[in-house]
Amino acid sequence: MEYFLELSSSGLVRGSIYALIALGYTMVYGIIQLINFAHGEIYMIGAFVALIVSGVLTIYGFSGVSILILAALIAAIYAAAYGYTLEKIAYRPLRNAPRLSPLISAIGMSLFLQNYVLLAQTPDFLRFPALIPDFEFMEPIAHIMGSAELVILVTSAISMVGLTVLIKYTRIGKAMRATQQDMVMARLVGVNVDNVISVTFIIGSVLAAIGGVLVGSYIGQINFYIGFMAGVKAFTAAVLGGIGNVPGAVLGALVLGLTEAYAAGYISSAYEDVFAFGVLVLILILRPSGLLGKAVKQKV
Amino acid sequence: MVDNIKRSLLVALWFVFLTFPLMVVKVNTLKSIVEWRWMNMLWVAIGAFALSLVWRWAMARRQLKSKKAEQGEDESVKAGFATRLMEDPKLYKPALIVIALATIVFPLVVDIYQTNIMVLALIFVVLGLGLNVTVGLAGLLDLGYVAFFAVGAYTYGVLNSFYGLGFWTCLPIGGLMGALFGIALGFPILRLRGDYLAIVTLGFGSIAKIVIENWEEVFNGAKGIAGIPRPGFFGAEMNITSATTYTYYLMILMVVFAIFITNRLKDSRIGRAWMALREDEIACVAMGVDMAKTKLGAYAFGAFWAGLAGVIFAARNTYINPNSFTFMESALVLSIVVMGGMGSIIGVIIAALVLILMPEYLRAFSEYRMLMFGAVMVLMMIFRPEGLIANVRRKYTGRKVTTEDANA
């Protein structure tokens, strides 16, 4: 039973990280029907910036929680800047191109950013400092859920609630929903669609950077390649939940995280990815538009 | 002009900010040293400034071009040199003879190292031609194409190490296994559309690699299979040099064969069905095309070539391990297809040769190879989405009806 709880908690932690990244995919997809393949790279860049900032701050004598907060903040700012620039260079000129073009441009961007970090920093794994402190009150259940895991769960929950509020109750959220429903119509009633798309990329990037910082300090090491697998998994989660659907992405991510954790714990950790993709294929066969996605009728 | 320079300065400033933590700062957390690389900042600033000027000029040109195309001026005004070369028999016949002679003479004049690289490039030509069918003609995005390549290579590796089967027995088996896997994987994802398809194929690609890596008993895991024999020629004894030359000619034959088949197929009933499916699935099905059969055909056919190429790849290297079959290889083949111009056979050949040979000969730049790839893929999509050599669609031109005809 304890083992089961342990696996569940690690599955939830994984799931909530996937969810943070998956939200960026699903929001972008909802608005411009593009798989932002380079989104995983934004997450990786967020983690790298946080690592560099925390390294520099540690050397210059800062300590404790102030490092965590500063590192996360700067990482989020940089991720937002990268997300914004990415959209402007690689996707905006292709707004009216055939479907395959922006996707290939995204794969190109992903390769570019990976190798940019590889060349600018290092191909090796870097040790990420443990930024999250150990809480005393977590001591009794530390073997099931540690402090870092608690922080990850709480932070992701807060981010997701924040996102929901933003989409539901703010002006820009309304504009985002309008653009998602009908871009041309939104433009006609005075929504600045280009700005909305930029904001969507920025929000997604900030969430990914938060995920990057959390994962970095939880797992303890990063390299230039972490974005690829995380991106693929998060995208899988978004598809699983029905791409374009915000609650769906969270649900899909949790399902995926738990599946992986149980598969790794009870069967074999070498095959956890096989199970992750297996679940995806299975669900897509049964429900081609994902768990919460609506089937779109296409007119000719 | 001043305005342009001002804007480029702003862009340069933005990129200096953007690249600052990654390009300038380098921390060593173990030794607690921060390395500040200020020179990089200067390079970024200069580079971003220059590139932004070029970028704005190119964007302006692109806009002009699309405006012209809208007004119907661009069409048929100037057929590019490449298209002229292909259509004018006076030009393409001598060109073809020169190319044929060059390919035959090639391994006799260069050393074995060059021939060996050329064989690799030709393997990627075949892969490109295969994926060209799935992606270029049928419009089914496949991000896990390398899985079929692995199926071919491991078919030969496993059959040889367990049952001692030779190259020539394994070659057709490898191709058929590839096609079989193509159908097996294509079947569950028939109903999926573009983007869902992309992620599922990507998943299949990584599953293939994980299975190979972890199934020690059959595939020998991460250690890989060594000692795979090179292609034989009626049991003749060959040293490495002649074996490589022989593999080269074999590859040339295979490329010619692949060109011939894909070219014929393109104009056949199923080829037209593929293109119709790419353009509009619903309309195509409504016209009576069997969607399942057509799609599975495209997968099987693309995977068949990958299987064949895989067998030859295993024979060329005499050693295979899972690291040769990563997503990078899938991305490489996909960029060959895209850069060549989707659906265009000559384009795919040129792109494969360029992408494989360039990094081999520019060893100094090999670190920057993937960086360049990425950038080129993005730039191609923006400025030349039709690829190096655009695929020329067959057209049936009728006589224009003039007003006089109508009145008569």
The answer, for A45 touching chain B at a CB cutoff of 8 Å, is yes
Average pLDDT over residues B374-386: 83
How high is the pLDDT of residue A245? 83
CA distance B122 to A35: 32
Do B63 and B173 reside in the same domain of the chain?
A: no
Q: What rounded mean pLDDT belongs to chain A?
A: 87
Average pLDDT over residues A271-282: 82
Q: What rounded mean pLDDT belongs to chain B?
A: 83
* Band of pLDDT at residue A267, cut at 50, 70 and 90: confident
CA distance A245 to B143: 24
How high is the pLDDT of residue B181? 92
Among B139, B202, B104, B23, smallest CA distance to B391 is for: B139
Residue A11 lies in a domain: no
* Rounded-to-10 torsion of CA B362, B368, B373, B374: -170
The answer, for A103 touching chain B at a CB cutoff of 8 Å, is yes
How close B94 gets to chain A, by Cα (Å)? 36
Kindly identify which residue of chain A lies nearest to residue B372, measuring between CA atoms: A112
Residue A15 lies in a domain: no
How high is the pLDDT of residue B305? 93
Q: Which two three-digit tokens encode residue A77?
A: 């700012």
Single-letter code of the amino acid located at B210: I
Do A252 and A206 reside in the same domain of the chain?
A: no
How high is the pLDDT of residue B398? 64
Interface test with B, best of A34, A107, A117 (most B CBs within 10 A): A107
Residue B405 lies in a domain: no
By mean pLDDT, which of A123-132, B41-50, B120-129 is the weakest? A123-132
Of residues A153 and A299, more confidently modeled:
A153
* Band of pLDDT at residue A45, cut at 50, 70 and 90: very high
Do A147 and A54 reside in the same domain of the chain?
A: yes
Do A47 and A87 reside in the same domain of the chain?
A: yes
How high is the pLDDT of residue A133? 75
Q: Which of B34, B203, B335 sits opposite A59 (nearest CB)?
A: B34
Helix (H) or strand (E) holding B33: strand B33-36
Whether B33 sits inside 8 A of A108 (CB atoms) is: no
Of residues B341 and B158, more confidently modeled:
B158
Residue B288 lies in a domain: yes
Name every chain A residue with its beta carbon within 8 A of the beta carbon of B30. 127
CA distance A196 to A172: 7
Percent residues over pLDDT 70 in chain B: 88
Domain count, chain A: 2
A203 contacts A84 by C-beta, under 8 angstroms: no
Q: Which of B29, B204, B374 sits opposite A108 (nearest CB)?
A: B374
Among B317, B312, B264, smallest CA distance to B149 is for: B312
Q: Which two three-digit tokens encode residue A236?
A: 């899988």
The DSSP secondary structure of A158-221, one letter per residue, reads HHHHHHHHHHHHSHHHHHHHHHHH-HHHHHHTT--HHHHHHHHHHHHHHHHHHHHHHHHHHH-E
Backbone angles phi, psi at B320, to 5 degrees: -130, 145
Residue A194 lies in a domain: yes
CA distance B34 to A53: 11
Among A14, A16, A291, smallest CA distance to A161 is for: A16
pLDDT digits (tens, 9 = 90+) for B115-171: 888 899 999 999 999 998 888 888 888 888 999 999 999 999 999 888 888 888 889
Work out the burial of residue B64: count CB atoms within 10 Å of its CB; fewer than 13 is exposed, 13-18 middle, 19 or more buried: exposed
On the question of pLDDT at B72 being above 70, the answer is: no
* Band of pLDDT at residue B76, cut at 50, 70 and 90: very low
Percent residues over pLDDT 70 in chain A: 96
Q: How many cross-chain Cβ pairs, A to B, lie less than 8 Å apart?
A: 174
User: Domain end: A165, A195, A224, which one?
Assistant: A224
The answer, for B51 touching chain A at a CB cutoff of 8 Å, is no
Do B277 and B376 reside in the same domain of the chain?
A: yes
CA distance A76 to A47: 9
Do A196 and A243 reside in the same domain of the chain?
A: no
**Other beta carbons within 10 Å of B281:** 19
Residue B391 lies in a domain: no
Q: Is B151 helix (H, G, I), strand (E, B) or coil?
A: helix
The DSSP secondary structure of A15-65, one letter per residue, reads HHHHHHHHHHHHHHHHHH----TTHHHHHHHHHHHHHHHHHHHHHTT--TH
Find how far residue B273's CA is from the centre of its chain: 22
User: Domain end: A224, A249, A267, which one?
Assistant: A224
Single-letter code of the amino acid located at B303: A
Domain extent at residue A191? 24-224
By mean pLDDT, which of A161-175, B40-54, B72-86 is the weakest? B72-86
CA distance A290 to A240: 5
How high is the pLDDT of residue A196? 93
Q: Which residues contact B273 (CB under 8 A, 6 or more apart)?
A: B284, B289, B294
How high is the pLDDT of residue B125? 93
CA distance B209 to B328: 12
Do A232 and A220 reside in the same domain of the chain?
A: no
**Complex ipTM more than 0.90, yes or no:** no
On the question of pLDDT at B317 being above 90, the answer is: no
How close B228 gets to chain A, by Cα (Å)? 27
Residue B357 lies in a domain: yes
Domain extent at residue B179? 82-383
Do A181 and A108 reside in the same domain of the chain?
A: yes
User: Domain end: A224, A245, A260, which one?
Assistant: A224
Half-sphere exposure of A53 (CA within 13 A, CB side): 23
The percent of chain B in helix, strand and coil, each rounded to the nearest 5, is 75, 5, 20
CA distance B188 to B192: 9
How close B71 gets to chain A, by Cα (Å)? 18
pLDDT digits (tens, 9 = 90+) for A52-64: 998 888 888 887 7
Name every chain A residue with its beta carbon within 8 A of the beta carbon of B200. 277, 280-281, 284
On the question of pLDDT at A218 being above 90, the answer is: no
